[in-house]
């Protein structure tokens, strides 16, 4: 390995910049060249790349989003697009690629590696959803959860002052990880998750059975199977007429922001580990954190598996602590 390129793809996530910084500096420390690819796979196709030195990543550790930018790139899903990307990498004598992103990013990376095995590829899990196999945590999940908790604390002031029932919708189309953790840390009365069937009847019964609560917050993950927070609020309002319900959709404010200490350290660790894996001759793998140990998982295996990341004890505890 002589020249390592790094890109961020899919949705941006806090912790991507610490990871880019770690990739660049670990590569240079080991006498390799580092290249930053702009806008994910699009930059490979447009030959939009820049040589990085140790100072290219100065003062980026605390920044949310990604300094390399990210984009959804349709051409990379075609063999023609992948061929152009390969040619551009070869012309620049790049022989290794670190791809930071989610499922889609890994799918593209694996396919590229099968088409062009002479370019080593390592994936880094970067998505606020925490929905990837092979790592207990993904970059951005911790920061996003902290952001949601901060918002919940503010919403609770109003819920409390007006005796209102708030339905707060958080990100998570297929994954309730943010909803579950934020629900516990923010003291929600109930959480609606995409992974589990929360019966609306049970929710309404629970709400009715705790009438002395001065405020109530129900967290709804956007992928919940009853529809969004507005739909659920409407059903509940129709059933419990005495409640004043309000809906807040937190939306994209959950994606950005300065990475938490956890995400800065995770990003640094994973970036460092990705380069070290490449130096050992690894390819077609992802780096991840399992039980506080850095592990490598085959991209193929990671993509074929789905992990249920909602801890049983948290699910049980939620019911107890919200009475
Ligand atoms: P995420 O990585 O967060 O899941 P996307 O699903 O948008 O985000 O995927 C990111 C990028 O990965 C896509 O824009 C595309 O360039 C690439 N990609 C996704 N699926 C494939 C595929 N089947 N083949 C090749 N490239 C893919």
User: Which pLDDT does position 214 carry in this prediction?
Assistant: 65
Cα of 109 to ligand 1 centre, how many Å? 9
Cβ within 8 Å of residue 159, ≥6 positions away: 165, 166, 215, 216, 217, 246
| Residues carrying an active site annotation | 129
Of the candidates 312, 310, 323, 320, the one whose C-alpha atom is nearest the C-alpha of residue 221 is: 310
Q: Is 127 annotated as a binding residue?
A: yes
User: Which pLDDT does position 213 carry in this prediction?
Assistant: 67
- 144 backbone dihedrals φ, ψ, rounded to 5°: -60, -40
User: Which pLDDT does position 44 carry in this prediction?
Assistant: 98
Pocket test for ligand 1, best of 105, 134, 139 (most atoms within 8 A of CB): 105
Pocket test for ligand 1, best of 7, 8, 9 (most atoms within 8 A of CB): 9
User: Which pLDDT does position 212 carry in this prediction?
Assistant: 66
Tens digits of per-residue pLDDT, 207-257?
887 766 667 899 999 988 888 899 999 988 888 877 788 999 999 999 999
User: Which pLDDT does position 215 carry in this prediction?
Assistant: 72
Cα of 42 to ligand 1 centre, how many Å? 11
Region of residue 215 (phi > 0: left; psi between -120 and 50: alpha; otherwise: beta)? beta
User: Which pLDDT does position 61 carry in this prediction?
Assistant: 97
Q: Kindly list the protein residues whose Cβ atom lies closer than 6 A to any atom of ligand 1.
A: 9-11, 41, 72-73, 76-77, 101-105, 107-108, 111, 127
User: Which pLDDT does position 272 carry in this prediction?
Assistant: 98
Q: Is 173 annotated as a binding residue?
A: yes
26-52 as b/e: b if 16+ CB within 10 A: bbbeeebbbbbbbbbbbbbbbebbeeb
Which atom of ligand 1 sits closest to the CA of residue 126?
3
User: Which pLDDT does position 209 carry in this prediction?
Assistant: 77
User: Which pLDDT does position 5 carry in this prediction?
Assistant: 98
Q: Is 11 annotated as a binding residue?
A: yes
**What is the value of ipTM here, to two decimals?**
0.99
Q: What is the 3-state secondary structure (H, E, C) of 128-197?
A: CCCCCCCCCCCECHHHHHHHHHHHHHHHHHHHHHHCCEEEEEECCCCCCHHHHHHHHHCCCCEEECCCCC
Q: For ligand 1, atom 12, which residue shows the shortest CA distance?
A: 105
Cα of 262 to ligand 1 centre, how many Å? 26
User: Which pLDDT does position 173 carry in this prediction?
Assistant: 86
User: Which pLDDT does position 242 carry in this prediction?
Assistant: 76
Which atom of ligand 1 sits closest to the CA of residue 75?
16
Cα of 32 to ligand 1 centre, how many Å? 28
Residues with pLDDT less than 50, the chain: none
User: Which pLDDT does position 162 carry in this prediction?
Assistant: 85
For residue 103, give both structure tokens.
């499922």
């Amino acid at each position: 390995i002589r020249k390592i390129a790094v890109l961020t793809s899919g949705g941006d996530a806090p912790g991507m910049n610490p990871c880019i910084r770690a990739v660049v500096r670990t590569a240079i420390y080991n006498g390799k060249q580092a290249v930053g690819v702009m806008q994910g796979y699009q930059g490979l196709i447009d030959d939009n790349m820049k040589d990085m030195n140790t100072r290219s990543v100065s003062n980026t550790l605390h920044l949310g989003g990604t300094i390399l930018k990210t984009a959804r790139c349709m051409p990379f899903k075609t063999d023609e697009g992948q061929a152009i990307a390969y040619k551009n990498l070869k012309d620049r004598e790049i022989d290794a690629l670190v791809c930071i992103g989610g499922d889609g990013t890994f799918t593209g990376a694996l396919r590229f590696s099968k088409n062009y095995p002479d370019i080593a590829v390592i994936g880094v899990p970067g998505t606020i959803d925490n929905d990837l196999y092979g790592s207990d945590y993904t970059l951005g999940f911790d920061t996003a959860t902290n952001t949601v908790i901060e918002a919940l604390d503010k919403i609770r002031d109003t819920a409390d002052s007006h005796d209102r029932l708030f339905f707060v919708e958080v990100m998570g189309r297929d994954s309730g990880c943010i909803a579950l953790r934020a629900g516990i840390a923010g003291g929600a009365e109930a959480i609606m998750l995409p992974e589990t069937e929360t019966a609306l009847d049970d929710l309404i019964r629970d709400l009715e059975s705790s009438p002395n609560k001065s405020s109530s917050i129900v967290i709804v993950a956007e992928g919940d199977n009853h529809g969004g927070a507005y739909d659920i609020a409407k059903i509940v309002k129709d059933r419990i007429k005495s409640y004043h319900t309000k809906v807040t959709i937190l939306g994209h404010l959950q994606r950005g922001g300065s990475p938490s200490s956890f995400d800065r350290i995770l990003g640094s660790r994973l970036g460092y580990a990705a380069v070290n894996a490449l130096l050992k001759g690894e390819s077609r793998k992802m780096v991840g954190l399992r039980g506080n140990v850095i592990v490598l998982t085959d991209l193929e295996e990671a993509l074929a598996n789905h992990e249920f990341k909602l801890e049983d004890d948290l699910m049980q505890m939620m019911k107890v602590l919200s009475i």
